[in-house]
Amino acid sequence: MFRKALFLILNCFLSAAVCGAEDWQNKSASEWTPSELNEILNNSPWVFQTSTAFPNIAARNIRKSRANPHIALGDVHRSSVRYPMIRIVTARPIREALLMRTADRTIESVISVDDLAKESNSDGEQARHRRLQLFAKANPDDIRIKPSLDYIIFAVTMKQLNQTANGITLTEEWFPVDELKGTDPSKLMAEAFLTTEKGKRIPLARYEDPRDDRLGAKLYFPRLRPDGRPSVSLEDKQIELEFPILDKKITAKFDLGMLLYRGRLEL
């Protein structure tokens, strides 16, 4: 019952993030507002929030060991539940929203102290443009910069609802994702599939653990079948992603008719 209540609250958090958002599809990515970025990354057709719950491994371990005498019980989440969130990160709206979100953050591994000193004297838009240039130069093959012609890539993160003494908060864990790191890679490769309403079953081609790119774990499925035909087309109507996390099976469904952006199927 408690987990169901938390999941309802999670949906309320995500819905509140998009309330009053403008029509982002009629704008260029550089014009998207923070609320529109939240809508695209959390509540657009390219995103699926699962209802499969996992306990917070880190908080559970702290409670078990109590190894750190400086951590008071009140500082540890009374109860926190995590739900996998899946994004199609190769879809153009998601790629561009992630890139804009990246441009609005300071990424120490990409921007040096000298670069930060230079851009601190710039106007907001100029600074953002400079961050994008620096990021693109340092990461030319990053999915946010270079579209993947070979794979449809799903990224998995964890949305975490925390019940504390001060109320309920929502966070997203990009890395490390303990549940995925604890899943046997051979099990993932054997049991992860992308299926279509027409009955096609596409096996997982590649898996990547969460990295420091803030995208989460990644599941790669080939865009083309062995005979050269597309793995997925609008005629398939719906795709369903299924894969294991620890001892649980995760499923995520996407309506292909909803995945159109500027008249093109985006996957």
30-74 tens-digit pLDDT: 888 888 998 999 999 999 999 888 876 554 444 444 444 443 444
Give the three-state DSSP class for 176. coil
For residue 37, the tally of other CB atoms under 10 A from its CB is 20
- The conformation of residue 81, written as its DSSP 8-state character, comes to E
Give the residue extent of every domain in the chain: 2-265
Q: 221: closest CA among 130, 153, 172, 161?
A: 153
Separation CA 113–CA 79 (nearest Å): 39
Q: What is the dihedral of CA 140, 142, 144, 147, to 10 degrees?
A: 80
Tokens of 179: 């549940």
- Regions in the chain scoring below 50 on pLDDT: 1-2, 5-7, 9, 13-22, 59-78, 106-122
pLDDT digits (tens, 9 = 90+) for 208-242: 988 888 888 999 999 999 999 999 999 999 999 99
